Amino acid sequence: MARKKNRKQVFTEVEVIDAGAKGKTVAKAPDGKVIFLPNAVPGDVVDVQTFKKRTAYYEGKATIFHKLSDKRVEPECEHFGTCGGCKWQNMGYEHQLFYKQKEVVNHLTRIGHIELPEVTPILPSKEQYFYRNKMEFSFSDSRWLTLDEINSNEDLGDKNALGFHIPGMWDKILDVKKCHLQADPSNAIRNAVKAFAIENNLEFFNTRNQTGLLRTMMIRTSSTGEIMVLVQFFKDDKTKRELLLNYIAETFPEVTSLQYVVNEKANDTIYDQEVIRYKGEDHIFEEMEGLTFKINAKSFYQTNSNQAYELYKLTRDFAGLTGEELVYDLYTGTGTIAQFVSKKAKKVIGVEAVPDAIMAAKENAERNNITNCEFFVGDMKNVFNQEFINTHGHPDLIITDPPRDGMHKDVVQQILNIAPQKVVYVSCNSATQARDLALMDANYKVTRMQPVDMFPQTFHVENIVLLEKRN
Ligand SMILES: C[S@@+](CC[C@H](N)C(=O)[O-])C[C@H]1O[C@@H](n2cnc3c(N)ncnc32)[C@H](O)[C@@H]1O
């Protein structure tokens, strides 16, 4: 059998011409193939060293920069390039927006073969930094070292880290000094907790050996000013746990919800673990247009609250409700979109897989004095069937906001069977949205589209589409 050639190649002075492709930029090799690069900006002229060759493309790295693009800006963050969080920080915001919109249009036209109406320009985020309301930091006893540190002869000092996973490396944690994604006191809490833990010999976790005490810390902030801190411990050590939690409570009295988890499993997800309230409440609230939403440690809530408000307003606008409609809100989470559109609808039915989220949705609706929303729990492809429609009524409009994988094909088929006049499809992954829209194209026409930037400095983009039934 012929061996696959995976020889490294060098291409000199190639121009970087595009961006998208999961955050990578794109250049063309002399043989016409595309090269994906993680470390360039469109407009750069670079030498490329390839490390992977496929039939249609190469993957490589820019090694020498002959010309730097005028689309470049100086990254704000000292961790840029090592941390995987904000890959586009070195590109001006207007250019980030341009490439995000281009990617959405490309996906819908090239994957979906959808005929698009005039696309409303992507909605920028007002905050380009410090826009996230939730961050999770990991503890590690062996922090990621940069090449410079490894090559230096200096004493590297403390090896503990509290920060983010290095992209693609499950056991390597970058020690973060200042993160530009969540507003203070997030950085202050993280840095103080790290220093206190070191001073008091609270052991940081070692993922490979599964040893240590401190695993992760989640910080949630809110527009109401409330703050949640949740520390995940590996061992049930009451003395050390209380030492740290009391320190957080005393040093940061503005924390309104202090909680913890003791997780002795190999993986650090808290979703199957008991969350214990230590001080304050077991939740915080988020507020939007007079509606309040209770958020507990496990709740999904859009991470850019201000831009979520814009996303929901656009969704409501696309829905064009008159007050007479029965609306289905598929993948409703804690019922945020359902409640947001409820004033303009006769009735809204929300469906979601996570039982806790549905409990929160019901509680939120009650607190908000909303009486025309009902919520049901279950896997969409099983729950959203003909019997469900017979019981709850034929929707005039469906709003759907699925996870990154998009909708199950049975769910798409069920929407086609129900054939509501309009569908509003909100998506955080335009590739799967394009796939789903292609399945609906014979019956529905895309009449409006609006990309929304929820995540500046990253390549992620949200997209809202209005589908109207073809006659
Ligand atoms: C992108 S979120 C949207 C949440 C909500 N619309 C909002 O804006 O807060 C997707 C939601 O789909 C839910 N989900 C994922 N897979 C599901 C499935 N198979 N059936 C029902 N819901 C599911 C997730 O739990 C999550 O709440």
Beta strand pairing call for 444-452 and 462-469? antiparallel
Give Rg (Cα) of the chain: 24
d(CA 405, CA 414): 17
Count of domains in the chain? 3
What CATH number has the domain bearing residue 218? 2.40.50.1070
Q: Is the dihedral of CA 175, 178, 182, 184 positive or negative?
A: positive
pLDDT for 471 equals 79
pLDDT band at 5 (very low <50, low <70, confident <90, very high): low
Do 268 and 405 lie in a common domain? Answer: no
pLDDT band at 2 (very low <50, low <70, confident <90, very high): very low
Do 280 and 316 lie in a common domain? Answer: no
Atom 6 (ligand 1) nearest CA: 332
Query: Mean pLDDT over all residues of the chain?
Result: 94
Domain range for 228 is 134-284
Do 226 and 244 lie in a common domain? Answer: yes
- C-alpha distance across the termini of the chain, in Å: 55
d(CA 150, CA 152): 6
d(CA 426, CA 465): 7
Percent of the chain whose predicted confidence (pLDDT) is above 70? 99
Each residue's pLDDT tens digit, 321-345: 999 999 999 999 999 999 999 999 9
What the block records as the tokens of 26 is: 């794109």
Last residue in a domain, options 67, 82, 112: 67
What the block records as the tokens of 367 is: 């607190």
In contact, 263 and 272? CB cutoff 8 Å: no
Name the residue of 298, 300, 425 whose CB sits within 8 Å of the most ligand 1 atoms, as the mutation to test its pocket. Answer: 300
* Known binding-site residue numbers: 302, 331, 352, 401
Residue 169, Cβ density class (10 Å: 0-12 exposed, 13-18 middle, ≥19 buried): exposed
What the block records as the tokens of 382 is: 């099983």
Beta strand pairing call for 283-288 and 276-280? unpaired
How far are the Cα atoms of 34, 62, 99, 184 from residue 38, in angstroms, in the given order? Answer: 13, 8, 15, 30
Length of the chain: 471
The residues with which 427 forms a beta bridge, in sequence order, are 463
Q: Element (H or E) spanning 415, and its range? A: helix 409-418
- 298 in ligand 1 pocket by Cβ < 6 Å? no
- 401 in ligand 1 pocket by Cβ < 6 Å? yes
Do 57 and 113 lie in a common domain? Answer: no
What CATH number has the domain bearing residue 47? 2.40.50.140
465, part of any domain: yes
In contact, 406 and 433? CB cutoff 8 Å: yes
Each residue's pLDDT tens digit, 178-218: 999 999 999 999 999 999 999 999 999 998 999 999 999 99
Percent of the chain whose predicted confidence (pLDDT) is above 90? 86
Ligand 1 geometric centre to CA of 445 (Å)? 24
User: For the whole prediction, is pTM greater than 0.85?
Assistant: yes
| Mean pLDDT (whole number) for 380-399 | 97
3-state secondary structure (DSSP) of residue 245: helix
